[in-house]
Amino acid sequence: MPEESIENINFDDLNKRAISQPLISHIYTADPSAHVFNGKIYIYPSHDVDAGEAFDDLGSHFAMEDYHVISMDSIDSEAVDNGVALHVDDVPWAKEQMWAPDANEKDGTYYLFFPAKAHDGIFRIGVATSISPIGPFKAQPEAIKGSFSIDPAVFKDDDGSYYLYFGGLWGGQIQRWRTGEFNAEQPDSPTAFLPENNEPALLPFVAKMTDDLFEFAEKPRTIEILDENGNLLLAGDNERRFFEAAWLHKYNGKYYFSYSTGDTHFICYAIGDNPYGPFTYKGQILEPVIGWTSHHSICEVDNKWYLFYHDSSLSKGVTHLRSVKLAEITYNEDGTIVPLKPYLD
């Protein structure tokens, strides 16, 4: 929701109309990646802070330094902040901007996947491990070889394979990798090197992970998101095309790839038959929230499905001070998702 429109919002009224309230309110959290491990819910969000950075379209004001893990015994129980799980100072390769993470589990070890800007100003994706789902996590000394951009999401398929999905436009730098090499020209422009509106939109990436989950087992490949006619979505189709916040979940044997449209603030989804796609666009999951960003995850808890998301209602519209929320989602008989409005009329 645009910054200029928040001046006229009555936040007391808005928060009464919100379909859910912040899970925690003593710190600001965003970009929630939710999982169930050992019967408990664990949420891996960004930890928003006000670092005093100027607002820009590169996201410099999103100057997060660490991660906290939130846990819940059940979907209705109190959310618990388990303190600092990983700090940028403890990641040798990372300089700043600990953006949206994800986590997963394998053989009793918990893996935290996170993007950060390296000392050369290029976003990479790192891995940290712990014997506990709440950390503390110990980072690998180097980022994943061949990794780039932001918003990692790690999906475990039924056959035990793990896939990492990632990518983001503008400050996420994916447009700077169009040739396979990082284009450092026009460093202050978030939109340099984007395709024209009538060209295919830039695509997110996926790579299968090695058995130890520390590296890509293959070169990352693009994920095709198609329209109803089987054509790639166009760059100018910014109410449907991918911008950031990749997530994958499986429902009734189908693979659901969901994401944010960024500058139009929708959470959308597309459906495919395998983890690599192609995925056919099917619709919106969440209408725009208060705040510029929208970022989510989808998780099954006790045979119901939930959307974990964030908005800036608690901070009264400050875009980089967000709060994690959750709401149940339901499916139609044809497998499509019933879209949610974050605030009732």
CA 63 from chain centre, in angstroms, equals: 16
- For residue 8, give the DSSP letter: G
Helices and strands (DSSP H and E) totals, the chain: 1, 21
Q: Is the CB of residue 69 less than 8 Å from the CB of residue 133?
A: yes
- For residue 18, give the DSSP letter: B
> Is 287 annotated as catalytic?
no
| Rounded Cα distance, 274 and 311, in Å | 31
| Rounded Cα distance, 106 and 112, in Å | 11
Please tell me which residue in 31, 48, 151, 237 is annotated as part of the active site: 31
Please tell me which residue in 48, 151, 224, 244 is annotated as part of the active site: 244
For residue 188, which phi and psi values (nearest 5 degrees)?
-90, 0
- For residue 150, give the DSSP letter: S
Burial 166-192 (b: 16+ CB within 10 A, else e): bbbbbbbbbbbbeeeeeeeeeeeebee
| Rounded Cα distance, 279 and 155, in Å | 16
> Is 199 annotated as catalytic?
no
Q: Is the CB of residue 155 less than 8 Å from the CB of residue 117?
A: no
* DSSP letter for each residue of 209-264: BPTTSSSBSS--EE--EE-TTSPBPBTT-TTTS--EEEEEEEETTEEEEEEE-GGG
Catalytic residues: 31, 244
